[in-house]
Amino acid sequence: MSRGTCYGGQAVALKILKLRVRSSDEYDSLFQSDLPGGGLFVPTTSPHEVGEVVVVELVCPDLPNPVMIRGLVRSWRSSIPRLRIRAGAVIEFDAEESHKRDFIRDALAGKHAEVSRRRHNRLPVSIPVRYRMPDTAQYIEGAISEISVGGAMLNTRTPLPLETDVIVEIVPPGAAAPIAISSRVSYQVPTGGTGLRFVSRDGDGSRRLRELVRRLRTA
């Protein structure tokens, strides 16, 4: 089962493959330039099925923070010790993750990308939600594609105005009832995404957000 796939209105966990590289040269040696959207060879001894959706958590000293990027397994191979061939999977980046691919490239090249670093430390997901503005009782059906304890990416046909207050309802994994999260629009993506910053009204709100993200990681 995969994080990014929804059953019964809830998120189901994706496998997270952790990849640590020491330098931009090592990253370049693993990068798969022949794939349309780019990708990585990720060393792992755990077999993966072709077509499986996974998340690669990339850690490198030259990156300001770990980057979690969603992708699709294109192939997996077992190790051949006598030929010094490592076991691993070739992961093609999801087309919607191109901004993260470019962020990694620029950061490893020493360029200062004008992108908030926290956006790339969010967990890729695909969770159905509904949202509304505080001055209306009418909810709009939608989904979020990234989340952290600080905010989320709300998929919208057109970006919502900056600084707009938004109430988002999410059903945590294993729960029957949704939780309502107060948020505010902090940035916009031209393709229609709306970046939200969660607004904790009290200590209990912060605790619920941490618990929500923990459940999504381990669902």
Q: What is the pLDDT of residues 55-103, one digit of tens each?
A: 898 999 888 778 888 899 999 999 999 989 999 999 999 887 888 888 8
Q: Among the three residues 119, 134, 167, which one is the final residue of a domain in this structure?
A: 119
Q: Among the three residues 63, 95, 119, which one is the final residue of a domain in this structure?
A: 119
**Could you report the per-residue pLDDT of 192-217, keeping only the tens digit for each?**
678 898 986 555 667 888 888 887 77
Indicate if 24 and 100 belong to the same structural domain: yes
Residue 163 sits in a domain whose CATH number is 2.40.10.220
Indicate if 59 and 129 belong to the same structural domain: no
Q: Are strands 15-20 and 53-59 parallel, antiparallel or unpaired?
A: parallel
Task: Answer whether 156's CB lies under 8 Å from 142's CB.
Answer: yes
**Could you report the per-residue pLDDT of 123-132, keeping only the tens digit for each?**
888 788 999 9
Between CA 36 and CA 28 the distance in angstroms is: 16
4: left (phi over 0), alpha (psi -120 to 50) or beta: left
